[in-house]
Amino acid sequence: MSDATLDIPLPLAGSNVDLAVLVSALVARSPYRSALTPLLHDITRIALANVQLRAALADIALRSDFSRTNTLRRCDLGAAAAPITAFLEQVYFSSPGFLKSVGEWPVGGARG
């Protein structure tokens, strides 16, 4: 197997700073915001490093003109809502807070 990396161009819309602020706004709109907010740094880092999520964020940024307006409406999400919502739900349902609430944190703690 080759050590060569694939150079996949990232969307040009929005700087990392703009997209990070957008991630924060999306987390703030999430029904899981209380559990996700403490994880915001990691959520942002992962979202910006993931090609699919970064493309979805760039699409939302363009659609909403977020860097200028700092406003996010549900209609601005469009088709990008699906991967963003799935990602935030995955993070929430994998979070220590959720796992603790269902007796699964620490891992193996409840069932041995």
Residue-level pLDDT at 110: 55
What is this structure's pTM?
0.80
Residue-level pLDDT at 15: 78
Residue-level pLDDT at 13: 47
**Average pLDDT per consecutive 10 residues, the chain (112 residues; last block may be shorter):** 39 70 96 96 96 95 91 94 98 93 77 54
- Helix locations, 1-112, DSSP H: 16-29, 33-36, 40-49, 51-64, 66-69, 81-94, 96-101
Counting the structural domains of the chain, the total is: 1
**Residue 112 in tokens:** 């041995």
> How far, in Å, are 19, 28, 38, 56, 59 from residue 12 at the CA level?
11, 24, 28, 12, 10
Residue-level pLDDT at 17: 82
| Assigned domain for 73 exists | yes
CA distance 82 to 73: 15
| Assigned domain for 34 exists | yes
Could you list the residue range(s) of the whole structural domain that residue 42 is in? 16-101
**Residue 52 in tokens:** 């699919």
Residue-level pLDDT at 104: 87
| Assigned domain for 52 exists | yes
